[in-house]
Chain A
Amino acid sequence: MKILFKGGRVVSPQDNINEIKDIALVDKKIVLNPSNIKYDRTIDCKGCVITCGLIDVHVHFRDPGFEYKEDIYSVAEAAARGGITTIVGMPNVKPAVDNKTVVRYILDKGKETAVNVLTSGSATKGNGGETLAEIGEMMLEGICAVSDDGFPIQDASLMRRVLEYTKNFNLPFMAHSEDKSLTKDAQMNEGYNATLLGLRPWPRQAEELMIARNIMLASLTGCHVHFQHVTTKMGVDLIKLGKKYGIPITAETCPQYFTLTDDACLDYNTNAKCCPPLRTKDDIRAIIKGLKNGIIDIIATDHAPHALEEKELEFQGASFGMVGLETALGLCLEQVYKNKFSLEDIVEKFIVNPAKLIGSKQGAFSTQELGDLIVFDPKVEWTVDVNKFASKSKNSPFDGMTLHGKLKLTVVKGEICFEDA
């Protein structure tokens, strides 16, 4: 199969390309300077942008253990429909990703899907936060990172050992920063809205304290600590400080944290309940600024599917999290449309830097083995409709939102796996 992508703007900083040019897919491989051969198909990409596929380092597969919310097949399809060609699973499934058998299960099942499925491994056995998991064994089996997502390690001494042990196997540690003693029963960001709604408040300091601690432990151990879902202004400032000290840290945020404030929880909208919680306008400004100036390295989704019956509840009974795979690109491009980000920012935060974090070759066309690319039109207006999601779960606070910038086509491993009708 030979496909020519004609007339699109190709943006790939790692390949030093940012221009309108043709590229081709020939026998599943990307050809950056296509020759004048006969193509099976020519796709008109005029007005569109072509990049490597998005790499999402923060996804909850819910498989094994919670397949009613999502499974590896459905999460992969949702990713393809969102322009995300590589997904990294979090270890808080059941059984936990704390041994090589579960790692093998996920990776093998992932190979049956259209996208690149990777997984992180849990830092502790059963996500229990007490004893170390077999990180070395999991490394050999193919995990790309270690994480405590969903079950943040509270004990500083154990965290120190975890980081030392993770560094031992040259893996990055993806940290969910939350001091649980400050978030007991907490439901939403501490502030006016929480007081108004009478919901238990979640102070930003619970996140910031742990970011500070984890920066210091990264400094102590030399382990690369990647801060997941950063949501607050001071969180960004702390990471800036840590980087200034030369401590090996990176950070991510998610589209919801630069799009929504805790106003989204008014009306007790459980789809806006997530962990960490949505914050304030000031935080959004700081997050966007942090992304612009490189303090925050990565955009990830924290795609957290939940069944209807886990969300159609009183607020305090509802589960934390929202699906994100099928809205992330649109929400990022909306910021481009509003001139808050440039296209190059998106490519760097959602392709180049995530690839570096997990040691993937898919962040540049020239290093890809089989071709991963996406084509999107940054101007096209569309409306989010959860009923069209491929994900098994529909818990999105963005349902009904109009966005600018729409995916046209996804190629993974050299094959078209999604094309907008």
Chain B
Amino acid sequence: MGLISKNLIDLKSTPKSDINLIIDTAFTQKEILSRSVKKVPILKGKSVCTMFIENSTRTKNSFETACKILGADVIGFSKTGSSINKGESYKDTLLTLEAMGVDLFIIRHFASGSSDFAAKTVKSKIVNAGDGMHAHPTQALLDMMTLIEHRGSIEGMTVLILGDVYHSRVARSNIWGLNKLGAKVRICAPMTLLPAEINSFPCEVYTDLREAVKGVDAINILRIQLERMNAGYFSSIYEYNRFYGIDTDIFKSVPKDTLILHPGPINRGVEISSAIADGPNSVIVNQVTNGLAIRMAILYLMLQGENR
């Protein structure tokens, strides 16, 4: 009836039933967002800490809004310019905040495995809001919710994840989540942006975008970080756009009703053209709303029945 998992660290370890429950609950709680007074009291007295060791305005806002809508108290913690060796203080920070009665931590961290580390360090519940290159489960859940919203079911869909898979926790979480809900996953990127042995993951791997888009139901376009260019992952924005950008030209070979997703923020004219980002196939704005609903659902489900 409730969640099986205590924490939400990644979708590989999250059972399919939990994924379905979170998405179903998000659909029921999305109603609140259309009210004039967007506030319910259910998490009254619960203390939630948004611990953002790596900066992210969007995700932090989304989580904090979700907390506030549900009536939880939010302790915001951000730490910019942390060096890797600040790990000790990461542990101490967790312990200190736990001692202050934090019921649930929402953690964004530049180090892969940092949510797992937190789960081993404190008894409070942990929601991973993105750890290094490892996982970003709430993003994948909101992507899947958006697909379900538009298609009714993910079962049998073909979803292409396009772009910097190498550095992407969004891609990794989507690969596991989509597979659990029965989608066929494709990924497409230049070889420099494909991680090792990605062929052994449950997805089809493409380097040619024109091949990859054939017959897809949705394309999830990853943000390309422009600083990768200097590290030799690609040559120029122009060339990246020409080979891996989604624009009206490539759209001629894409099925008409293909959904376009993007975790944001968008680099217009790089991985996606404005015509597509703002076009009829784009569900990018829905993703943001669904993100809020997904995060509300997760908070609600994870904190209920705590004193059984």
Contacts and interface: CB of A to CB of B under 8 A. Distances in A.
Interface of A: 190-192, 194-201, 267-268, 309, 312-318
B133 A199 contact: yes
Given A195-B172, A314-B109, 17 more contacts: A191-B196, A195-B201, A198-B112, A198-B132, A198-B135, A198-B172, A199-B132, A267-B116, A312-B91, A313-B90, A313-B91, A314-B90, A314-B111, A314-B114, A315-B117, A317-B111, A318-B87
Contacts of A312: 91
Given A197-B112, A198-B135, A198-B169, A314 B196 contact: no
Contacts of B200: 192
B116 A313 contact: no
21 contacts: A190-B196, A192-B197, A195-B172, A195-B196, A196-B201, A197-B113, A198-B112, A199-B113, A199-B132, A268-B113, A312-B91, A313-B117, A314-B109, A314-B111, A314-B112, A314-B113, A315-B111, A316-B112, A317-B86, A317-B87, A317-B111
B271 interface: no
Interface in B120-168: 131-135
B195 interface: yes
B34 interface: no
Interface string B88-99: 101100000000
Contacts of B1: none
Contacts of B133: 198-200
A199 B111 CA distance: 8
Question: Which 4 A-B residue pairs are closest in the complex by CB-CB distance?
Answer: A198-B134, A198-B133, A317-B87, A313-B87
Contacts of A190: 196
B115 to A, nearest CB: 9
A200 B113 CA distance: 12
B85 interface: yes
Contacts of A197: 112-113, 134
B132 A316 contact: yes
Contacts of B134: 197-199
Interface string B195-206: 111101100000
A6 to B, nearest CB: 50
A195 B197 CA distance: 7
A317 B84 contact: yes
Contact of A194 (B86, B111, B116, B196): B196
Contact of B116 (A192, A195, A268): A268
A194 B90 CA distance: 23
A313 B112 contact: no
A316 B117 CA distance: 11
B22 to A, nearest CB: 22
Nearest to A318: B87
Contacts of A313: 87-88, 90-91, 117
A138 B270 CA distance: 59
Contacts of B132: 198-199, 316
Nearest to B231: A184
Contact of A316 (B12, B84, B88, B169): B84
A199 B112 contact: yes
A267 to B, nearest CB: 7
Given A198-B134, A268-B117, A317-B111, A191 B88 contact: no
B137 to A, nearest CB: 13
Contact of B195 (A201, A309, A316): A201
A195 B165 CA distance: 10
Contacts of A309: 88
B165 to A, nearest CB: 9
A320 to B, nearest CB: 13
B218 to A, nearest CB: 23
A196 B116 CA distance: 14
A317 B111 CA distance: 8
Contacts of A196: 12, 172, 201
Contacts of B91: 312-313
A417 B93 CA distance: 44
B112 A201 contact: no
Nearest to A315: B113
B183 to A, nearest CB: 19
A282 to B, nearest CB: 13
Contacts of B113: 197-199, 268, 314-316
B123 to A, nearest CB: 17
A194 B109 CA distance: 18
Max chain A C-beta neighbours (<10 A), residue from B113, B132, B135: B113
Nearest to A309: B88
A195 B198 contact: yes
Interface string B72-94: 00000000000011111011000
Contacts of A267: 116
Nearest to B117: A314
Contacts of B116: 267-268
Contacts of B87: 313-314, 317-318
Nearest to B86: A317
A315 B112 contact: yes
A232 to B, nearest CB: 15
Nearest to B135: A198
Interface in B195-223: 195-198, 200-201
Contacts of B197: 191-192, 195
A194 B201 CA distance: 12
A190 B166 CA distance: 12
Contacts of B201: 192, 195-196
A199 B133 CA distance: 7
Interface in B38-89: 84-88
Contacts of A198: 112-113, 131-135, 169, 172
Contacts of B131: 198
A200 B132 CA distance: 10
The winner among B12, B112, B133 for most chain A CB atoms within 10 A is B112
